[in-house]
Amino acid sequence: MAINTYGVIGAGQMGNGIAQVAATAGLNVIMSDIKIEFAEKGLANITKLLSKGVDKGKITAEDKEAILGRIKITADLKDMADADFVVEAATENETLKFKIFQDIDEICKPDIILASNTSSIPIGRIAAQTKRPEKVIGMHFMNPVPVMKLVEVIRGIATSDETFQTTWDLSLKFGKTPALSHDYPGFIANRILLPMINEAVFALYHGVGTREDIDTVMKLGMNHPMGPLTLADLIGLDTCLAIMETLYEGFKDSKYRPCPLLRKYVEAGWLGRKTGRGFYEY
């Protein structure tokens, strides 16, 4: 089936980035959120980023207008009936994602692929919410989506070869480099990354070093582009906690126990860049 219209559920940081990449690749995009003002905010962010691209000479003003012209925003999930491929990019909350997949399974054409941008929730559990488990797959983009080259493609136990190949090829069309992960908690990226971030939070919690010193050691000693606490703030501390809880639940191993300090910050509403305060102030 030809993919001409790409549906994105969620217009937040990840969703609007995915929508921008898809529209830049020449697809028509339907970007939805629960309120139209959320979708409008997502479109405004895309417009801002494209305007920066024009200012830097990376794209023309005509390119910008053409990309924006391919994006439709909506607050009605039923509009996904017009999509040829749908990716869910909602908050990393299992109950919410299950409900979305139950709904879009009924709304969308029966032959289209339903993908999730989940960073840790098992694809098999998401697929089980639908009547098309063979057409459910993980399509995990990295943040910020327009810049980061990786797409982690996650096969569930029921995912068909056709679904996998279509998603892999679509990642390439978007100018990304796909990597295959099988369906285990955290997949590849966050099974490795989040325990490191969590350990950095434990180091701060135990007073091993200041936030600056912990980040400096990892940047200059391990050649990471940013320190783990800075990265946690960029990801969102609520997302970090949700992923650690998924790992802890999935493996039943104390080494995946979320740091109490991480939970304390989330409970205080200190979620990182998006709230203006996390391990650092913004």
pTM, 2 dp = 0.91
The mean pLDDT value for 17-30 works out to 98
pLDDT in tens, 193-215: 999 999 999 999 999 999 999 99
Cis peptide before 122 (omega within 30 of 0): no
Q: Do the beta carbons of residue 181 and residue 134 sit within 8 Å?
A: no
pLDDT score recorded for residue 191: 95
**Selected catalytic residue, list 152, 171, 181, 198:** 152
Question: What phi-psi label fits residue 136: left (phi over 0), alpha (psi between -120 and 50 degrees) or beta?
Answer: beta
Q: Do the beta carbons of residue 89 and residue 8 sit within 8 Å?
A: yes
Q: How confident is the model at residue 1 (pLDDT cuts 50, 70, 90)?
A: confident
**Selected catalytic residue, list 117, 119, 120, 181:** 119
**Selected catalytic residue, list 16, 117, 171, 190:** 190
Report the chain's terminal Cα–Cα distance, integer Å: 45
pLDDT score recorded for residue 75: 98
Q: Which residues neighbour 170 within 8 Å (Cβ) at sequence distance 6 or greater?
A: 3, 85, 139
Amino acid symbol at 165: Q
Q: Residue 115 above 90 pLDDT?
A: yes
The mean pLDDT value for 258-266 works out to 98
pLDDT > 70 in the chain, percent: 100
152 is catalytic: yes
28 is catalytic: no
Q: How far is CA 271 from the centre of its chain?
A: 16
SS3 per-residue string spanning the chain: CCCCEEEEECCCHHHHHHHHHHHHCCCEEEEECCCHHHHHHHHHHHHHHHHHHHHCCCCCHHHHHHHHHCEEEECCHHHHHHCCEEEECCCCCHHHHHHHHHHHHHHCCCCCEEEECCCCCCHHHHHCCCCCHHHEEEEEECCCCCCCCEEEEEECCCCCHHHHHHHHHHHHHCCCEEEEEECCCCCCHHHHHHHHHHHHHHHHHCCCCCHHHHHHHHHHHHCCCCCHHHHHHHHCHHHHHHHHHHHHHHHCCHHHCCCHHHHHHHHCCCCEHHHCECCCEC
Distance CA 198, CA 247 (A): 12
pLDDT in tens, 133-179: 999 999 999 999 999 999 999 999 999 999 999 999 999 999 999 99
Two structure tokens written together for 150: 């990786």
pLDDT score recorded for residue 102: 98
Residue 192 burial by Cβ neighbours in a 10 Å radius (0-12, 13-18, 19+): exposed
Token look-up 């909350």 returns 93
Q: How confident is the model at residue 239 (pLDDT cuts 50, 70, 90)?
A: very high
pLDDT score recorded for residue 132: 98
pLDDT score recorded for residue 103: 98
Q: What is the average pLDDT score of the chain?
A: 97
Q: How far is CA 63 from the centre of its chain?
A: 25
Strand-strand pairing, 5-9 and 28-32 = parallel
Q: How confident is the model at residue 95 (pLDDT cuts 50, 70, 90)?
A: very high
**Selected catalytic residue, list 32, 45, 117, 140:** 140
Q: Residue 244 above 80 pLDDT?
A: yes
